[in-house]
Amino acid sequence: MADVILSLSQVNKTYVTRKNGRNRNVWAVRNVSFDLKRQHIVALVGESGSGKSTIAKLITGVERSDAKSGSILFEQKPLAEWRRHMREYRRHVQMVFQDPYAALNPLNPVNYAVGRPLTNYKKLRGQAREQEIEQILQQVHLTPVREFANKLPFELSGGQLQRVVIARALASSPKLIVADEPVSMLDVSIRAEVIGLIDELRTQAGVSFLYITHDLISARLLADEIVVLYRGTVVESGDAKTVVREALHPYTQLLLQAIPNPWAPEQDENFDMSLLERTGDDTGCVFRSRCPHAMEACAKTAPTLQPHGEKQQVACLLYSAESREPVNS
Ligand code: SF4
C-alpha cells in the first residue's frame, strides 16, 4: 500500500519489573496495529500509562519492540532494516516533544537550533543555510524571521518555543513527525495556534503526523483517524469524527464524559470520576475492572478489535461479531 507511510502490526513491548524478589513481565504495548497514510494525521489517545509514549519510542527507534512480536514498517521497509541506516531514518522520522522548554538548549539561539539539522543532514552552510533557516521560520510563522533567528529560548513564549521545536524537526525535511503531547504544556489560548500550524504543515509541507494526546477534542479537531489506547491495548479506532461522535467503547465514552463542559454542568456532576481510577488484573478484557457494563464473559475473554460499520473498529464484547450491535446496553 503505497499511500501508507507507517504501519504497525501486532506490536508488543514488555518490561521486566522486580517485585518481592521475583521478576514480573509488565505489558506496555500489547498487539498494537494501525496504519498511518501519507499526509494524514493519526491521533493516539489515552491517559497516562496507556502506552502512547512507548509507541512513540518504538517508532522513533529509541526503544525496540519485543522480539518475534510483529512489525513496524516505515515506507514499506521493516524498522529492523532501517536500523542499519539510522541516520537516514532519523532524517525522515522526527520527533516533537511535550516540553519545549526542555527540548532546547538555553544557551543556543534559534538559528543554531534550526540550522544544526541543515548542516548535519543537508550539508548546508553559509548563505544557503541562512536562507533555509529564514524560510523554515517563515513556515512556522516566527516573524519577523531575522529578529527571531537571533533570540535565545528565554526570550520566547511557550508557544514560540514550540514553534522553534517544530521548525527544528522540519529542517531535515521529514516525511513523518511524531508529536508527543505537543500542546499540553502550552496555555489554552495558544494551543489552537499550534494545532493549526500542524494541520497547515501536513497540507503545505506534505508531512504525516502521529499526534499523541490525552485530549479527545484536540484529536477530533486535528486528526483524520483516532486510535484509543487503554493499558497498551487498542480498544477503539477509526475515522476521527465518527469515533468522537459515536464512541462505542465504554472507555472512549468515559473519556468523552470526563471532558469539562461549561455548558453542561449536570453532566459533570453526574460523572463518576472513580471510574477513571486504575485497578484490577490482566485477565479477560483489560478494561473490565473499570467498565460500567462489565459482564461475566468479560472476565474470561479478551475482546479483539473488530470492524463496526465502515469507519470504526472496537474491542468490546458488547458488540457481537455477527450483528455488530450491542448485545447488552
Ligand atoms: Fe466492558 Fe466487557 Fe466491553 Fe470490556 S468487553 S469494555 S468489560 S463490556
- Longest CA span, the chain: 69
Atom of ligand 1 at shortest range from CA of 298: 2
In short, whether 275's Cβ falls inside 6 Å of ligand 1 is no
For the stretch 114-172, pLDDT in tens is: 999 999 999 989 999 999 999 999 999 999 999 999 999 999 999 999 999 999 999 99
pLDDT over threshold 60, residue 259: yes
| Residue minimizing CA distance to atom 3 of ligand 1 | 316
Question: With a 6 A CB cut-off, is 288 part of the ligand 1 pocket?
Answer: yes
CA of 295 to the centre of ligand 1 (A): 7
- CA-to-CA dists, residue 88 to 175, 180, 233, angstroms: 11, 21, 30
Residue with cell 483516532: 226
Indicate if ligand 1 lies below 6 Å from the C-beta of 280. Answer: no
The predicted-structure confidence for 6-16, as pLDDT tens digits, reads as follows: 999 999 999 88
Give residue 263 CA to ligand 1 midpoint distance, Å. 30
Ligand 1 nearest atom to the CA of residue 249, by list position? 6
Out of 16-25, 103-112, 318-327, give the one with best mean pLDDT: 103-112
Residue 52 neighbours by CB distance under 10 Å: 24
The pLDDT of residue 250 is above 70: yes
Separation of CA 299 and ligand 1 centre (Å): 9
- Name which residue leads in pLDDT, 280 or 114: 114
Cβ of residue 250 lying under 6 Å from some atom of ligand 1: yes
Topology adopted by domain 4-245: Rossmann fold (3.40.50)
C-alpha 294 – ligand 1 centre gap (Å): 5
pLDDT at 272: 45
- Tell how far the Cα of 293 is from the centroid of ligand 1, in angstroms: 6
Evaluate the CA torsion angle 169, 174, 180, 181 in order and state its sign.
Answer: positive
Percent residues over pLDDT 90 in the chain: 74
**24 CA to middle of ligand 1, Å?**
26
Give the model confidence (pLDDT) of 20-36 as tens digits. 788 888 889 999 999 99
Q: How far apart are CA 143 and CA 36, in angstroms?
A: 32
What's the pTM value of the predicted model, to 2 decimals? 0.89
Ligand 1 atom closest to the Cα of residue 293 is 8
What is the number of H-type helices and E-type strands within the chain?
13, 12
Q: Say what the pLDDT of residue 6 is.
A: 98
Where do the structural domains in the chain lie, given as residue ranges?
4-245
